[in-house]
Amino acid sequence: MRARAPRGGFAAGAAAKALLAWLLILGLLAMVGYLISERNARTWSLVPEEGRLVVSKGMLLPMGRSHFKTSDPAQAKAYAPLVPPPGKSLPEERTFQEQGDLDRALYDLLSAWAREDVASNDPARLERGLGYLERALLLPGISAAQRDDLTALRAESGYFEARRLLERARAELSEAAEKLRLAAASRSPHAADAQALLHELAPLVDAAAGVVRASGAPPAAAPPASSPDGTGQSAPSAPSAQ
């Protein structure tokens, strides 16, 4: 008679095969889960939230995202929550598979808002438009065509930005002259030095004011004239003769 194989050995072999099959299945599931998580971690989103456009980044999980955070100051500024101009509605939520896609979408928004603000010739809107352009400069993934458009926009805004800087310089020179005038009229041991500096500075203040007038930039409010006692209060005028 033929000898029969022991049943115990057959059962052990079948169990080992089943365990190996389960391990292979679990390994494949883990690999698929990791690939899905990695893909999710590379996704970026623009999400309208409480009147702002927020940049979110996918987490290293099969799903889920969080507000983008970084220790890089340039990236933190480029991807900070974006506030639209008054009257402008936020776009609908969008998701991007690559950072470059996010950058190009952000640029389209920033450049459109900046172009309108710069063309307005309104000082407050100009300031905001220049801020949008500064944000656009920090986006690393914009296209070559967008880079050329940004160069043209910066050139267009350069004149208005120069006027803004001229007015700022004029205002700071005027403030410095006023402080020197107060020091020169005081009993400070530096009164003579202040008077000498004021004498050198006065032509520069007049020249800066002339340049600002020639550029057409609206002058900032001048600091109040100081009274003889240095309090900044103007002396009361004498009553007119009746």
- Mean predicted lDDT score pLDDT of the chain: 81
Residues of the chain with confidence (pLDDT) below 50: 1, 221-242
pLDDT of residue 109: 95
pLDDT of residue 114: 94
Q: Name the nearest CA neighbour of 106 among 68, 64, 72, 152.
A: 68
pLDDT of residue 35: 64
pLDDT of residue 234: 40
Rounded Cα distance between 105 and 234, Å, is: 55
43-70 per-position pLDDT tens digit: 889 999 989 999 998 776 776 778 888 8
Exposed/middle/buried for 132, CB within 10 Å: 0-12, 13-18, 19+? buried
23-50 per-position pLDDT tens digit: 788 787 777 776 666 666 778 899 999 8
pLDDT of residue 60: 64
Structural tokens at position 157 = 């805004």
pLDDT of residue 4: 55
pLDDT of residue 63: 67
* Predicted TM-score (pTM) of this structure: 0.61
pLDDT of residue 218: 56
Give bridge partners of residue 52 from the DSSP assignment.
49
Rounded Cα distance between 230 and 182, Å, is: 6
At CA 170, angle to CA 137 and CA 189, rounded to 5? 125
